Amino acid sequence: MNNQLIHFILVLGLAFGLGAGVRSAQGQEHPKSATTKAAMSRGGAGEKDDNIKQDRAPNDPNAKAEAPPEKGGAKSRQYASCQIHIDNRTPWYVDIYTDGNYRGQISPWGDSYGYVGCGGTVFYGRATFTGGSVRTWGPANYFVDGSFTWTIE
């Protein structure tokens, strides 16, 4: 009888402890926007950038990219996508990367919208200039939940 009581108390304590941990993670507030200022470098037009895993590439007409549920793709509990808004407040064309993968180029003073997986996302921007100089934004790691705006200045 004593062992059953001890077992019951341990299981009950474990259940309460795990439940409190889940509640605190769900209750965390994450910012819905962030601003990153540019960093300037002298060269680098031909140098490898460690923040870029997959750079711009030509489109493959045979590639099949799955549409997110918000765009008519299959709805699944396993795939959660969140919307991002990139707000370019500079006079330059900027290549945008999320998690090291090229996502597109944003025009001067432009806005761009897209989708990423929800959760921790690394944002990176890179503008290359004649003469070889480069301006970069990030890498900046943010938790994306729902919609998120990244402003670059």
Map out the domains of the chain with their CATH numbers. Answer: 32-50+79-153 (2.60.40)
0.85 cut: is pTM over it? no
Model confidence pLDDT, tens digit, residues 11-42: 566 555 545 444 444 566 788 888 888 877 76
Q: Which has the closest alpha carbon to 115: 78, 77, 148?
A: 148
Residue 135 · residue 92 · CB < 8 Å: yes
Model confidence pLDDT, tens digit, residues 44-59: 556 778 887 777 766 6
Average pLDDT of the residues in 132-141: 92
